[in-house]
């Protein structure tokens, strides 16, 4: 079945540590996105990529980095510069569904600083 | 002014009633509008998209768009307890390709 796979589901980070969140899709979608969600809040755009080897900063890119070397993969690195990384991270790709051109989301990674 | 605004709720309706969720947006260049449903601890799932002024119906859901007023709404008819969730309004940002900007969501509670 086609879809978006995020891993790990839960991730614990120590202070000052970089961690990488994985996002893989087998939907053959060109565009991929990373969002962050804090409790009781909506989704905030971190980075997005419309095509391989190209990506743009979203609204809260500071302290994060991405790469897009393959169409299927869009990993997000949370660096030590991100002072408050505890959140629910969602990866999405652009889908054409019977309901229109909305996103398909992965199941998310919950990151906690310990 | 926030790009996408929603009342946070909670919105409480009895089973079988109509739930009405509202959203306003600030970017007049936006062309695509979406409603997502998110259950607690889960990722959002797309329930409706709308691109033109007027109403769009899909089963128990109706999306309404008024670009002149920069207003999008979602009506849920015959509300069920399983509809209890947070509903997120999303709008494309005209200068950011296909990137969507989300509101903070409205929490709906349907009581049986």
Q: Give pLDDT, residue A99.
A: 54
Residues of B in contact with A35 (CB under 8 A): 102
B58 contact A CB<8A? yes
pLDDT in tens, B11-32: 999 999 999 999 999 999 888 8
Q: Which of B7-11, B41-45, B53-57 has the lowest mean pLDDT?
A: B7-11
Compute the Cα dihedral for A89, A94, A100, A104 and give only its sign. Answer: negative
pLDDT tens, residue by residue, A49-84: 988 999 999 999 999 999 999 999 999 999 988 889
Q: What does the alpha-carbon distance between residue B35 and residue B65 come to, in Å, rounded to a whole number?
A: 12
Decide if B49 and A99 are in contact by the 8 Å CB cutoff. yes
Residues of B in Cβ contact (< 8 Å) with A56: 96-97, 99
Give the pLDDT of residue B96.
65
The residue-averaged pLDDT of A82-105 equals 82
A43·B88 Cβ contact <8 A? yes
**Contact list, A58 vs chain B (CB under 8 Å):** 96, 99
Residue with tokens 């999405």: A92
- CB-CB: which of B8, B32, B44 is closest to A105? B44
Residue-level pLDDT at B101:
92
Region class of A47: left (phi > 0), else alpha (psi between -120 and 50), else beta: beta
Interval B46-100: pLDDT, tens: 999 999 999 999 999 999 999 999 999 999 999 999 999 999 999 988 776 678 9
Burial class of A82 by CB neighbour count within 10 A (0 to 12, 13 to 18, 19+):
buried
Three-state DSSP class for B81?
A: helix
Question: What's the confidence (pLDDT) of residue A114?
Answer: 86
Whether residue A64 lies within 8 A of chain B, CB to CB, comes out as no
Which of B35, B38, B43, B72 to probe the A interface (max A CBs under 10 A)? B43
pLDDT level of residue A95 (50, 70, 90 thresholds): low
pLDDT of A43 over the 90 cut: yes
Q: What percentage of chain A exceeds 70 in pLDDT? A: 92
């Amino acid at each position: 079945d086609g879809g978006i796979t995020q891993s790990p589901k839960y991730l614990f980070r120590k202070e000052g540590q970089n961690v990488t969140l994985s996002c893989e899709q087998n939907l053959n979608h060109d565009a991929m996105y990373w969002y962050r969600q804090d409790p009781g809040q909506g989704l905030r755009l971190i980075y997005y990529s419309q095509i391989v080897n190209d990506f743009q900063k979203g609204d809260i890119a500071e302290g994060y980095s991405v790469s897009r070397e393959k169409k299927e993969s869009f990993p997000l690195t949370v660096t030590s510069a991100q002072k408050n990384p505890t959140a629910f991270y969602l990866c999405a790709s652009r889908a054409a569904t019977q309901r229109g051109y909305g996103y398909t989301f992965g199941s998310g990674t919950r990151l906690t600083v310990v | 002014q926030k790009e996408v605004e929603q009342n946070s709720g909670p919105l409480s309706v009895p089973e079988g009633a109509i739930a009405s969720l509202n959203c306003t947006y600030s970017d007049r260049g936006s062309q695509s509008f979406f409603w997502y449903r998110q259950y607690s601890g889960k990722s959002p799932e797309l329930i409706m998209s709308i691109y033109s002024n007027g109403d769009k119906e899909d089963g128990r859901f109706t999306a309404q768009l008024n670009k002149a007023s920069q207003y999008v709404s979602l009506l849920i008819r015959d509300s069920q307890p399983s509809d209890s969730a947070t509903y997120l309004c999303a709008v494309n940002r005209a200068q950011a390709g296909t990137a969507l900007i989300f509101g903070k969501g409205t929490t709906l509670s349907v009581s049986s």
